[in-house]
Structure 1
Amino acid sequence: MRFCSTRGGPGVSFEEAICRGYAEDGGLYVPEELPSVSLGLAAWRRLSFGELALELLRLFVGEELSASELQEVVHGSYRDFSDPRIVPVVPLKKENAALLVAELFHGPTFCFKDLGQQLLVRLLARFAQRSKSRRTFLVSTTGDTGPAAMRAVADAASPYLQIIVFYPKGQISELQRRQMTTVSGPNARVVTFEGGGDDMDLPLKRISADQDFAKKHGICGINSYNLGRPLAQLPHFFWAYFRALDLLEASEGTELDFVIPAGALGNTAAALIARQMGLPIRRLITGVNQNDITHRTVTTGEFHRSESMVKTLSDAINIQVPYNMERIFYYLTGQSALVKAWMAEMDASGRLTLPSDWLQKMQQIFLSARIDDELMCSTMRRCLEDFGYLPCPHSAVALGASWATESDAARVVFATASPCKFQESVTTALGAEAWQRFQESPSFPSSARMLLEAKETAPDVFEAEATLCESQRKWEMNLRKMLGE
């Protein structure tokens, strides 16, 4: 299989696509053709999670890795998950299975990013070992990506990998910060920058686009613009669909709604790819917080960058411009030339308004709801009081979006992180006593308790300048010096 940019251009191999991250023209890689899987659904329903992941990834990796190499990568990726099912799917209310929760947070850093990063990093480690070439991962995080990436690099234990993670100062939880600042070793560095959640994206994109510099340092981005992330996240959508059918006692082909917390839209793009491949998803429902560009795009067609980032209690989905919207536009239109023109307009002005015909097509696939902090907190309380279920703030945004939108189809809500990572949000919603009860309960991971007592190493700091543009230029210069010109 070959992979092309969302903006056109020649195809590349799977290895080239995941090692580059961004395409040379600034677009995102996508398969030139998506395989159809509708005929295989009945057989796949009986597979374990690892077996299902192997079948799906084989469609894209092809002959670039041997069967034994790919099997080793896949099985190693789920080795440290705390639940043998990898992704348990449970009814929110035992006597009514119409609303199900797929728990994506049983990996080593308690969030869904483990499902993508463990596979992607291991794939990259395998290719780096084969070519004896260094890979430098540059990762910008709003909370969950960074810890998952650092853990995946540590687990891969490859001498060819190093990682630098960037996070916005004061905008992630204490546990998320500690998951990064307690990691020791010469191949892992942490930088905090004085800006909003996605303000570091442009400097990283510029460095990645500098082909000579990127090649010299083996630079590779593993945020969700890297094609490997959405492909590695395909299995949990197929798995959740099959487990939902089991609970509903339904047959293959039954259409379900999937509800997803929406940040950079990597998980949403993966779900859309699964739908395009033939998984019977009726609607994709995105839940957003006050940073609501995805909601505005779905409801009005206004893909317009906000003037500023709002700090919220669901900070891991604080995004001003989600880069995976480009993949969504590509699958919406099927026209790389149109996507290229749209993204050029967005890059130049920060504003793109979808024509009405394309907006109507988007609304045939997507629904959306804006869940502010107050509604998110009330959703957390409702879940705990009515169902005895404590979601993280981002999962609560998705649950709130499910309740705010109408449907006559059964729904699967994707819970993207453990509440153990979000003391401030849980305490704000439920009170300090509720947090203490949770922290002392068996549901609170023992490894998370240990992190709260571990010694931290102070991160490097990229300070803000007078304007965002000046800040981004300075951060890029600092990073180049850090890597060595």
Structure 2
Amino acid sequence: MHYKSTRNDKLRVTAAQAIAQGISDEGGLFVPESFPAVELSELLELDYIGRAKAILSRYLTDFTEEEIAQCAERAYSAEKFENDTPAKVVSLDAHGENKHILELWHGPTCAFKDMALQILPHLLTKSLKKTADGKTAVILVATSGDTGKAALEGFKDVEGTQMIVFYPENGVSPMQKRQMNTQEGENVCVCAIRGNFDDAQTGVKKIFTDEAVKAELAANGMMFSSANSINWGRLLPQIVYYFSAYLDLVKAGKIALGDAINVVVPTGNFGNILAAYYAKRMGLPVQKFICASNRNNILTDFIRTGVYDKKRAFYTTISPSMDILVSSNLERLLFHLCGEDAEKLTAWMNALSQGGAYTVDADTADAVRTLFYGGCCDDEETVAVIRETFGRDGYLCDTHTAVAVGVYRQYLAETGDNTPTVIASTASPYKFPDSVLDAFDCEKPADGFEEAALLSKLSGTAIPKPIAALQGKPVRFENTCDADDMADFVRRTVGV
């Protein structure tokens, strides 16, 4: 298995090269040259680690079986994830709605990013040994909240790596900010930027392609890599949990092997829902992908019109991990749907960077609409969904999962399609206690930990141990810079 770039389809690199490098030299994203088929029945009786090994081995053909086993077993151990499976499925099908919640937040940072970022350090360090001649990987991350903490936790004190996380100063929840700024590890650093997530993400991409900075790093035995979802090593592990959820529903008698499902994903950067699309390409019987957005509904508009236009108002919402106007992983989907025409794809991406918008051709737009449904919820609707879902199903959603549930209800009302549906639940409600408490119409305390305690009392649910453990931890990082100064901050931090 080799990988090509969305902007250079003649290029071929190994899996280790794709993971170590993160992004192609011309700015494109690495994609597999083909999608290996999976026989569902062969995975049915395996546990999560076994399913992960089976799927990863089809793509990481330059890794040994032992290396893949080590990565999966270290990432998804019982020490890391609190349930008997890292990806628990909770069925909420008592009222005629055939919906099942895929809980992806039982890891060390209480967000779905753990599912990939607990294994990425192992994949990356093995990839570096194969390709980078002992260089230190300088890993840059732009985060809208959850990726940053999950990456910091995954990479803390990992030999041969340094990590710098940038987040928008006023664009993450207080609990997310506290998670990042109290992070332990001698090889990690955190910096807020004056701007929004797109400013942070654009800044990181500029640094990655800055030849002067890259040369300075190389002269000091360093190289850039990425832990964002643009890295194939981040995206690949996410494929696993869609297969696992499907097979768990089969084993629970909710569906029969071969039955179609729909998948709903709350997404901003498009990586999580793209992984579900890749699972379909491998044989998972997904009928419709339901893309759920908050008030920053650029993906909803694109799916419906074929026009991607970031020249619009940016909103800070109660689902901050989705406050994104440049959905990086959409590039990968469009590459596949436009016939893997790198020249056409590059023209669209250049139009976006230079003019802020692009319009795909009619065939590509039709292909997107055939596969995807787009919908959105504003903050008021999101709080209403949290309230209704808790009252009706006894299930407590965070603000991102609630967006997904709300958009699923829109889809159901519009289409009447009662196909069994898996809804990705991407974060614990205790990462956003202030906003979740709005659904309970109560007087809220000022302190985030007191908010979490009140939410636990009102909902009868337990505060996750990683959240409770934050109380009293000392703040280590209080850095802030302008987006234009991110490259200099990187230089100072790594000492070049």
TM range (shorter): over 0.9
Is 1:438 matched up with 2:441?
no
Q: 1:332-369 CA distances to partner (integer Å, 9 max, x unpaired)?
A: 12222221221122121110122333212111000011
Picking from 38, 59, 65, the partner of 1:67 is: 65
Picking from 292, 302, 308, the partner of 1:303 is: 308
Conserved 8 A contact 1:303-1:351: yes
Residue 215 (structure 1) shift: 4.0
Measure the CA separation in 2 of the matches of 1:89 and 1:32: 32
Give the equivalent residue in structure 1 for 2:27. 26
Measure the CA separation in 2 of the matches of 1:215 and 1:414: 40
Query: Do the aligned partners of residues 296 and 213 (structure 1) sit closer, same or farther apart at CA in structure 2, a change above 3 Å counting?
Result: farther
Q: TM-score, normalised by structure 1?
A: 0.93
Give the equivalent residue in structure 1 for 2:126. 126
Measure the CA separation in 2 of the matches of 1:270 and 1:324: 10
Give the equivalent residue in structure 2 for 1:223. 228
Conserved 8 A contact 2:7-2:343: yes
Conserved 8 A contact 1:4-1:32: yes
Give the equivalent residue in structure 2 for 1:56. 55
- Aligned-partner residue type, residue 307 of structure 1: R
Is 1:480 matched up with 2:478?
no
Picking from 279, 287, 294, the partner of 2:284 is: 279
**DSSP 3-state at the match of 2:140:** strand
Conserved 8 A contact 1:98-1:248: no
**DSSP 3-state at the match of 1:218:** strand
Gaps of 5+ in 2: 445-450
Query: Do the aligned partners of residues 433 and 384 (structure 1) sit closer, same or farther apart at CA in structure 2, a change above 3 Å counting?
Result: farther
Conserved 8 A contact 2:71-2:119: yes
Residue 294 (structure 1) shift: 0.6
Measure the CA separation in 2 of the matches of 1:19 and 1:181: 26
Conserved 8 A contact 1:261-1:397: yes
Map 1:146-295 → 2, pairs under 5 A:
146-154=148-156, 157-209=157-209, 210=211, 211-213=214-216, 215-216=218-219, 217-295=222-300
Conserved 8 A contact 2:290-2:373: yes
Conserved 8 A contact 2:189-2:477: no
Picking from 369, 380, 397, the partner of 2:375 is: 369
Q: 1:45-99 CA distances to partner (integer Å, 9 max, x unpaired)?
A: 221110000000001111x222112101111101210001111111114465711
- Aligned-partner residue type, residue 308 of structure 2: F
Conserved 8 A contact 1:256-1:409: yes
- Aligned-partner residue type, residue 438 of structure 1: L
Residue 414 (structure 1) shift: 0.6
Give the equivalent residue in structure 1 for 2:426. 416
- Aligned-partner residue type, residue 162 of structure 2: Q
Give the equivalent residue in structure 2 for 1:102. 102
**DSSP 3-state at the match of 1:348:** helix
Query: Do the aligned partners of residues 327 and 147 (structure 1) sit closer, same or farther apart at CA in structure 2, a change above 3 Å counting?
Result: same
How much identity, in percent, do the aligned residues show? Answer: 30
Residue 204 (structure 1) shift: 1.3
- Aligned-partner residue type, residue 229 of structure 1: R
Select between 110-119 and 331-340 the one with higher mean Cα deviation.
331-340
Measure the CA separation in 2 of the matches of 1:262 and 1:462: 27
**DSSP 3-state at the match of 1:108:** coil
Measure the CA separation in 2 of the matches of 1:213 and 1:286: 41
Residue 460 (structure 1) shift: 1.0
Conserved 8 A contact 2:164-2:490: no
Residue 274 (structure 1) shift: 1.0
Measure the CA separation in 2 of the matches of 1:300 and 1:152: 39
Residue 223 (structure 1) shift: 0.3
Query: Do the aligned partners of residues 431 and 170 (structure 1) sit closer, same or farther apart at CA in structure 2, a change above 3 Å counting?
Result: farther
Q: 1:359-385 CA distances to partner (integer Å, 9 max, x unpaired)?
A: 121110000111110110100001111
Conserved 8 A contact 2:121-2:158: no
- Aligned-partner residue type, residue 256 of structure 1: I
Q: 1:286-332 CA distances to partner (integer Å, 9 max, x unpaired)?
A: 11011111111101112110334201000111001110010110121
Measure the CA separation in 2 of the matches of 1:439 and 1:106: 17
Is 1:389 matched up with 2:395?
yes
Conserved 8 A contact 1:305-1:320: yes
Measure the CA separation in 2 of the matches of 1:204 and 1:446: 32
Conserved 8 A contact 1:189-1:459: no
Give the equivalent residue in structure 1 for 2:447. none
- Aligned-partner residue type, residue 365 of structure 1: L
Gaps of 5+ in 1: 464-471
Residue 33 (structure 1) shift: 1.2
Residue 404 (structure 1) shift: 0.6
Conserved 8 A contact 1:97-1:247: no
Select between 424-433 and 273-282 the one with higher mean Cα deviation.
424-433
Measure the CA separation in 1 of the matches of 2:53 and 2:109: 22
Measure the CA separation in 2 of the matches of 1:446 and 1:52: 27
Give the equivalent residue in structure 2 for 1:467. none
Conserved 8 A contact 1:313-1:424: no
Measure the CA separation in 2 of the matches of 1:446 and 1:30: 37
Residue 256 (structure 1) shift: 0.5
Give the aligned length.
472
Select between 367-376 and 209-218 the one with higher mean Cα deviation.
209-218
